[in-house]
Amino acid sequence: MLKNYLKIAFRNLTKNLGYSTINLCGLAVGMAVAVLIGLWVHDELSFDKYHKNYGRIGLLMQNVSFDTKKTTYAYGPIPLGEELRSAYPDFESVAVIKNQGLILVSGDKKFAKSGSSVEPAFLDIISVKILAGSRSGLKEVNSIMLSASLAEAIFGIENPLNKVIKIDNKLDVTVTGVYEDFPDNSSFKEVTFFIPWALAIAKDEYVRTSLHAWDENSFQIYGLLKKGADFDQVSASIKDIRMKRDNPPGYKPEFFVQPMSRWHLYGDFENGVNIGGLIQFVWLFGIIGVFVLLLACINFMNLSTARSEKRAKEVGIRKAVGSFRGQLIGQFLSESFLVVAIAFVLSILLAALALPFFNEVADKQIAIPWSDPLFWLMGAGFSFFTGLIAGSYPALYLSSFQPLKVLKGAISVGKFAAVPRKILVVIQFTVSVTLIIGTIIVFRQIQHAKNRPIGYSRNGLIEIQMNTSELSGHYDALRADLKNTGAVQEMSQSSGAITAQDGGTTDISWEGKSPEAHPLIYSNAVTHDYGKTIGWQIRQGRDFSRSFSTDTSSMILNEAAVKIMGLKEPIGSFVKARGRSFQVVGIVKDMIKENPFSPVNPSFFICNYNWVGMINIKLAPNQSASEALAKVEGVFKKYNPASPFTYNFADVEYAKKFGTEERIGKLTTFFAILAVLISCLGLFGLASFIAEQRTKEIGIRKVLGASVANLWQMLSKDFVILVLISCIVSVPIAWYFMSDWLESYKYRTEISWWIFAATAGGALVVTLLTVSFQAIRAALLDPVKSLRSE
């Protein structure tokens, strides 16, 4: 029986090749979208799951209070690690680490790489696959473990074990182990080396001075809970661990343990409360995938039921010769499953072709798991479910025909019979129009933030990290040599990157400050020429200047700091920060250093040549970037020949701040276009069928004098009305969801009326273009041929 069903199904496919092609194309595209989204969702949900102790690993975090607002940080003090090990039995293991960048030199090869200084227990907390050497390799102080890719880059095919590498051009370390690179969906994918914690203590003065400092919150602390321990209960027990000690700080830290399962997808906090994160995009694209697949299924339903008149006599004869309704349902479902099976094969091919583009847009390294049986099993289940959804309504509808009526030709396919199809068309275009509106609003929000004044000039501005002592202490000579090249307009140094915010302090006071006020003011150490280099805008007072010998005790505030401090006459006032008194000499326009979608943080700038670690260079506009950079590199090689010349353009670093939103916008656009394509395929098929169904009516109307324009209007009118209804329905849906999305941004665009009008207009134009081909083709048909009796 099944063989007979499939044979009839195949004959029907080949007999009606046009409609079959539309169904196959629609379903293949819809299923390809679902496959791509499914792979993306799986990649997101499996983040960090390769760790053996995934369910027991946690990161120590803290909520700190500044006035009435709580801010969450993923950093803590070194002494907290020892306290948790010794006084809290729920922890099986605890490790403190410090992320850092080092310059690694071997022979003539030089690399600037990111890695971590780690306590010994860290390699037992997370899963690290050792490829060469041993896990205990970091017991030696002057040792280093390399990722496989870094070891290959440095040593090629040679055995890297026991080879010597120089770090930061001053200390030799021995390679004692090589580990497998962390996967792309890992929190540690950027870690290319591990060095012992003992080495960090020996070479880093800041680490040494922080060993017993409870208020130096610059380190990450990882914990492995014992089996059966509950994260919430452990968090409650350590919450006030700092406040119970001597000299509790005014920022009132509250510690908690964030499970590894929530690091990636639940990374957003507001006022100390975890409000979600990337999980919202997992849900968003999961829903989009379901709806795009539904659009393809609707095409199958509509075209199958629209052609019911063609299949009515077949159903009547089968029932007359003894077929049961269940057998007819089985036959029609078998047709559906056959189409879906072919579409699934095509969808895998389409997904494989689209994957490179998809990976580039989504910033992923996803691959189709061809050899994974689970993938194919899920694919079979997915195909069965799709076939059931697409084929159930047509099967139930067609099998319900009464044999007596259909064999007499009395079956009704009037306007009421088309109502379900019209409802499905409305659903299709409602989804498509909603996606288009959402896409436009996402890109408007991105552009709104990009157009926001940033308070400095990014053009030709580069940043160079000072990793070695050869560059420090030679500021004036380095600056003079750079300017003498003619490639540099200005040069300065700062404590951090222009596009990132340094740490802040609550240890700050001024005249008139309320005793209850504990605002967090961000601090920035800069050299005299910082303002001229980045082109900041002085609102009041003056910039730092070598003409004033007192500028090492001067301070410049941004507008946000003046506002939060409530200073009426800021110029000339005195501010005490971290035990030193500074006189305010200038006010600068707020500069966007962090999130471009959020308000600017209050900040102060002091002139201090000892706290700087970043070189800022403004390239001369009269030379090409490549020519200027070659000259700059020559100067740096003079002072530091052993280190690679690495730099970042400020405009590129600033553009990265829009990465998440731009990826979401591009992916949404991609899926919206495919949704419209699928909807138009269905519309094209229905228009073709209706034109075929009304061939004789069109012929009679032409004989009676109807023009091509009259006939085009008659055939297009119903579709235009359906799309207009879709636009009306989609407007409140899109407005509700996009308003809710925009609420998550402090600095956001408005939803303008023209977005809905333009989208509706575009939808109508696409509809008319899709329908007109079939409508005009039918209208131009010779009435003699269309009225001829067979």
- 239-296 per-position pLDDT tens digit: 999 888 877 887 788 999 999 999 999 988 888 888 888 898 899 889 988 888 888 8
Residue 233 burial (C-beta neighbours within 10 Å; 0-12, 13-18, 19+): exposed
Q: What is the pLDDT of residue 145?
A: 95
Is a pLDDT exceeding 50 seen at residue 345? Answer: yes
Q: Which residues pair with 196 in a beta bridge?
A: 118
Largest CA distance in the chain: 108
Q: What is the pLDDT of residue 129?
A: 93
Contact status, residue 588 vs residue 558, Cβ threshold 8 Å: yes
Q: What is the pLDDT of residue 790?
A: 47
Alpha helices in 400-538 (DSSP H): 403-408, 419-450, 475-484, 530-534
Residue 764 in tokens: 């109508």
Q: What is the pLDDT of residue 784?
A: 63
Average pLDDT over residues 542-554: 92
* 346-360, 412-426, 651-665, 771-785: range with highest mean pLDDT: 346-360
pLDDT digits (tens, 9 = 90+) for 627-674: 999 999 998 888 877 778 888 999 998 988 888 888 888 888 888 888
Calpha distance 348→379 (Å, rounded) = 10
In 3D, which of 296, 294, 387, 401 has the Cα closest to residue 335?
Answer: 387
More confident residue, 429 or 700: 429
- What is the C-alpha end-to-end distance of the chain, expressed in Å? 35
Is a pLDDT exceeding 60 seen at residue 5? Answer: no
Is a pLDDT exceeding 70 seen at residue 309? Answer: no
Q: What is the pLDDT of residue 10?
A: 61
Percent of the chain whose predicted confidence (pLDDT) is above 90:
39
Which H/E stretch holds residue 81? helix 78-87
Calpha distance 760→767 (Å, rounded) = 10
pLDDT digits (tens, 9 = 90+) for 731-760: 999 999 999 888 888 888 999 999 999 999
Contact status, residue 123 vs residue 191, Cβ threshold 8 Å: no
Residue 766 in tokens: 């696409």
Q: What is the pLDDT of residue 215?
A: 80
Percent of the chain whose predicted confidence (pLDDT) is above 70:
89
pLDDT digits (tens, 9 = 90+) for 673-689: 888 888 888 787 777 76
Indicate the pLDDT class of residue 788, thresholds 50, 70 and 90: low
| Torsion of Cα atoms, 486 then 487 then 490 then 495, to 10° | -140
Give Rg (Cα) of the chain: 34
More confident residue, 290 or 413: 290
pTM: 0.83
- For residue 543, count other CB atoms closer than 10 A to its CB: 17
Q: What is the pLDDT of residue 607?
A: 93
What mean pLDDT value characterizes the chain?
85
Residue 474 in tokens: 């030679």
Calpha distance 131→125 (Å, rounded) = 18
Residue type, 215: D
Half-sphere exposure of 172 (CA within 13 A, CB side): 5
Q: Which residues pair with 97 in a beta bridge?
A: 118, 220
More confident residue, 23 or 748: 748
Residue 772 burial (C-beta neighbours within 10 Å; 0-12, 13-18, 19+): middle
Q: What is the pLDDT of residue 777?
A: 74
Residue 418 in tokens: 């088309």
Residue 514 burial (C-beta neighbours within 10 Å; 0-12, 13-18, 19+): exposed
More confident residue, 600 or 416: 600
Residue 177 burial (C-beta neighbours within 10 Å; 0-12, 13-18, 19+): buried
Q: What is the pLDDT of residue 303?
A: 73
Calpha distance 779→324 (Å, rounded) = 42
Is a pLDDT exceeding 60 seen at residue 378? Answer: yes
Half-sphere exposure of 168 (CA within 13 A, CB side): 16
| Residue entry with tokens 């200005």 | 490
Which H/E stretch holds residue 461? strand 461-465
Indicate the pLDDT class of residue 103, thresholds 50, 70 and 90: confident
Which H/E stretch holds residue 494? strand 488-494
DSSP state of 413: -
Q: SS in 3 state form for 564-584?
A: HHCCCCCCCCEEEECCEEEEE
Q: What is the pLDDT of residue 470?
A: 61
Spell out where 608-675 has E strands. Answer: 614-619, 648-649
* 3 state DSSP class of 83: helix
Average pLDDT over residues 351-379: 90
Is a pLDDT exceeding 70 seen at residue 125? Answer: yes
Indicate the pLDDT class of residue 108, thresholds 50, 70 and 90: confident
Q: Which residues pair with 132 in a beta bridge?
A: 178
Calpha distance 67→127 (Å, rounded) = 40
* 3 state DSSP class of 227: coil
Half-sphere exposure of 307 (CA within 13 A, CB side): 23
Is a pLDDT exceeding 70 seen at residue 20? Answer: yes
* 67-76, 89-98, 357-366, 574-583: range with highest mean pLDDT: 89-98
Relative to beta strand 614-619, strand 488-494 is antiparallel
Lowest mean pLDDT among 68-77, 341-350, 398-407: 398-407
Indicate the pLDDT class of residue 16, thresholds 50, 70 and 90: low
Q: How far is CA 233 from CA 62, 227, 305, in A?
A: 15, 13, 58
Residue 639 in tokens: 């002072």
DSSP state of 733: H
Is a pLDDT exceeding 50 seen at residue 364? Answer: yes
Indicate the pLDDT class of residue 9, thresholds 50, 70 and 90: low
Q: What is the pLDDT of residue 450?
A: 87
Lowest mean pLDDT among 156-160, 481-485, 725-729, 774-778: 774-778
